[in-house]
Amino acid sequence: MISTISRNAFLLAAFAIICTGAVAIVNVLTKPVIELQEQKALLKTLNQLIPAESYDNDIFASCFTVKDDLLGKGQSQQVFIAKKEHLPVALMLETSSFRGYAGEIKLAIGIYENGQLAGVRVIRHTETPGLGDKIQTNKSDWIFSFNDKSYQQSQDHRWEVNKNGGDFDAFTGATITPRAVIFAVKNALIYFENNKYNLFKQQANCGEDQ
């Protein structure tokens, strides 16, 4: 009886070690590739927002993290600074909105140093396919309507969907998603305006907390 139990226990332990070992090996082998893929995907978004020829610094090395309620509650977000000849040109920051229809909408927002929007892209979202997913560039041109916009407090009412008197179109059947994106972009611009001088002076610190 005892011998059966210990034999089974030994066998189970052996299988656990082999299985975990296999996963660990695959993890080690794929980790650099996954990181490279993530960087590539990020750089693709970055260069859509801030043209590669407008800056000359190593934009990945400039990455640092910030935390502010305007960029999504309790989330730390990455910021990338684009510089040309040591002068700040633009930055790209990530922001999250939970005001959409389902879950988080993660955005990448490019802002020139004068506060004008370079553009906005959706990094990921879980909005309803066919309705809310028009925020993706491959489904609709809607997200391009942010290009070159900037925020002034006196013009706050314009940061709304057009049926509420704002500048931006709503989708047929989906108002919640575009409003969530509009508010997230507006908040990001307010955050930028408040912290502009510190942001361009920040030391890079991405990867240090890992």
Partner 1 sequence: MSDSIQQTATQDESKSEQAAVYKELAWQGLWKNNPGIVQLLGLCPLLAVTNTVTNALGLAIATLFVLVASNSLVSLIRAYVPQAIRIPVFVMIIASLVTCVQLLMNAFTYELYLSLGIFIPLIVTNCIIIGRAEAFASKNSVKHAAFDGLMMGLGFSAVLILLGASREILAQGTLFDGIETLLGDWAQDLTIILYHTDTTFLLAALPPGAFIIMGLIIALKNLIDQRVVKQ
Residues forming contacts to partner 1 in the complex (CB under 8 A) are 4, 7-8, 11-12, 15-16, 19-20, 22-23, 26-27, 30, 33-34, 37-38, 40-41, 124, 128-131, 138, 172-173
Minimum CB separation from partner 1 for residue 98, in Å? 18
Q: How far apart are CA 146 and CA 119, in angstroms?
A: 6
Minimum CB separation from partner 1 for residue 44, in Å? 10
Please provide residue 83's backbone torsions phi and psi, each rounded to the nearest 5 degrees.
-125, 150
CA 40 to chain centre: 14
**Residue type at position 203:** Q
Q: How far apart are CA 144 and CA 120, in angstroms?
A: 7
**Residue 147 — left, alpha, or beta (φ > 0 → left; ψ -120 to 50 → alpha)?**
beta
Minimum CB separation from partner 1 for residue 30, in Å? 4
Minimum CB separation from partner 1 for residue 105, in Å? 14
169 burial (CB, 10 Å; 0-12 / 13-18 / 19+) is middle
